[in-house]
Amino acid sequence: MTEGVIPVRHGVIPAAGLGTRFLPISRTVPKELLPLVDTPVIEIVVTEMTAAGIEQIVIVSAPGKEAVEAYFRPNERLERRLAVEFREQDLALLKRPQSLANISVVVQQEPRGNGDAVLQARGLVGERPFVMLWGDDIVIGDDSAAAQLLQARERLGGGSVVASTRIGKADTGAYGIIAGTPVDERTQRVLAIIEKPRPEDAPSDLAAVHGYVLEPEVFEVLARMKPGRGGEIWLSDAVSAMARVGSPV
């Protein structure tokens, strides 16, 4: 650990989206609980965080998505049934999600944007840096996205970090696109994140994907923000605001 860099032990997973792209299944099953083979995507995200050293995780859910919280809570009735029937393998699988980390769930009562969803975690995260990963998105690689984000933060001596990847110009309308200046071959200092620009307006081919490490000041920025595009509060706008005033991103 670089001297003076506060270790990151908290994580936030926004999981409050309506899941309209997954209709009709998302009418009854939250998209974050849809499986990749035999494991729900959100469990993969939680496991990624814990493997990177995160100990306290806040999941931000929404009304009607109680199944997300239930997935990470004990099911005592089923546990008793499996124990009586000596189904030890099934019992271990049942208990696996609740054993991954110390998980809390807060509810975003109104769909006011992904920035507002992150803001709901403020009371539990407090004045601590945290990893934020989307609850319906995974990245496959030798090192997880969470591990790479934390490694970059350590190498840079702290500050906020944005995960990014290069995309084709034709795809910029689906992502937040980073305007920045090079630090080294794999790192840019963020100047702004432009949400879903037209290809001709995109400042680069670097798309913000999967997640962030964020300093706690982002909560104060989000709390002051007024709704933007679509009447929503966007996390990328808060990160851009932090960069404009000189916060390291």
* pLDDT at res. 245: 85
Q: Give the closest residue to 19 by CA, choosing from 134, 127, 116, 148.
A: 134
State the sign of the Cα–Cα–Cα–Cα dihedral 58, 60, 63, 65: negative
Residue 171's pLDDT band, with cuts at 50, 70 and 90, is very high
Residue 3's pLDDT band, with cuts at 50, 70 and 90, is low
**pLDDT at residue 104 greater than cutoff 60:** yes
pTM score, whole prediction: 0.92
Beta-bridge mates of residue 181: 189
- 191-225 pLDDT per residue, tens: 989 888 999 999 999 998 889 999 999 999 999 99
> Residues, the chain, total?
249
Q: Give the closest residue to 175 by CA, choosing from 116, 234, 221, 246.
A: 234
Kind of pairing between the strands at 35-36 and 39-40: antiparallel
Residue 184's pLDDT band, with cuts at 50, 70 and 90, is confident
* pLDDT at res. 129: 96
* pLDDT at res. 230: 83
Ordered structural domains, the chain, with CATH: 10-244 (3.90.550.10)
